[in-house]
Amino acid sequence: MNTPVSSETGGGSELWLHNLVNGLSGMTFKARHCVYCEASAFQKIEVFDTYGFGRVLVLGGCVVLAERDEFIYHEMMVHPAMLMHSRPGRVCIIGGGDGGALREVLKHEQVESVTVVDIDGLVVQAAKNHFPTLRGGFGDPRAQVVIEDGGRFLEKSSDAYDVIVVDSYDPGGPVQSISSEPFFGLVSERLASDGVAVFQTDSPLLRSDYIRHTMRSVSPCFAQQKPYICTVPSFPEGLCSFVVATKTHGALENFAEERYASIAGLCRCYNREVHTGAFLLPRHVRDALLP
């Protein structure tokens, strides 16, 4: 979400976060207090304790996750792509310094290694120190964290990944490479022949230009692509979208039933029915994706 956040006090005792779209509409959070505030070389990093959504992470003035509903976002970003692959052994997460996507990937026992690539090490530290539900994956021996620009990492890498999760939406932020057209080609090059990639594409209605740009950029590099959506209450207007893509025709119709059974009890939002329904776009959303 590329939205400004402001803090206001009323009578010296109230703190409000305003997560707005173009300064016109969005979400408002009433906070108890600021838990953490620091500036990295790339952005201001803040954590607020709110009444309605638990702890909230703010990067560069944008609310990027809330404790109350982050599980919806992370489960829906990770598990559809993971279950489309027959055996995801090697996974790369571009962005994801908060640890949420890492936590979900590691629920799959077949995963042998996960590389998290985030440009800002202070984001990783903030997650470890202030979000107990997010930090567990960092201690897993299968996990490796690389502090680097995601595009440059893929450009230098020679590894092949079964699944690549692009957990970053940052137009105008510190990681400009991930929204450039060459980036999508790099993701395709770093995928194994049967690999699956998923890209976070923000609100399909408020930022339909971005998801359309992603789909146009993905199309020349992959054999198949599909958009899907989920509802996340803390997002402005409550809707988030993703694009999943593969280098193999028909792979996006796959669903690993046995592996799903092993993670189903570990998920609070994701299930088989939600997986199917996420790809059944309402007409007004589908129309917004048209060129």
User: How far is the C-alpha of 248 from the C-alpha of 257, rounded, in Å?
Assistant: 19
> Which residue in 167, 170, 202, 209 is the catalytic one?
167
User: How far is the C-alpha of 73 from the C-alpha of 270, rounded, in Å?
Assistant: 10
150 in Cβ contact with 177 (< 8 Å): yes
DSSP label at residue 136: G
Q: Confirm whether 209 is a catalytic residue.
A: no
Q: Which DSSP string corresponds to 93-131? A: EEE-TTSHHHHHHTTSTT--EEEEEES-HHHHHHHHHH-
Helix, strand, coil abundance in the chain, percent, nearest 5: 35, 35, 35
Both tokens assigned to 264:
């189903």
User: How far is the C-alpha of 279 from the C-alpha of 7, rounded, in Å?
Assistant: 37
The answer for residues whose C-beta is within 8 angstroms of residue 169's C-beta and 6 or more apart is 1, 2, 200, 201, 202, 210
Instruction: Report which secondary-structure segment, H or E, holds 273.
Output: helix 272-278
E strands, 24-61, in order:
25-39, 44-50, 54-59
Burial class (CB in 10 A: 0-12, 13-18, 19+), 152: middle
Closest CA to 230 of 74, 2, 64: 74
Residues marked as catalytic: 167
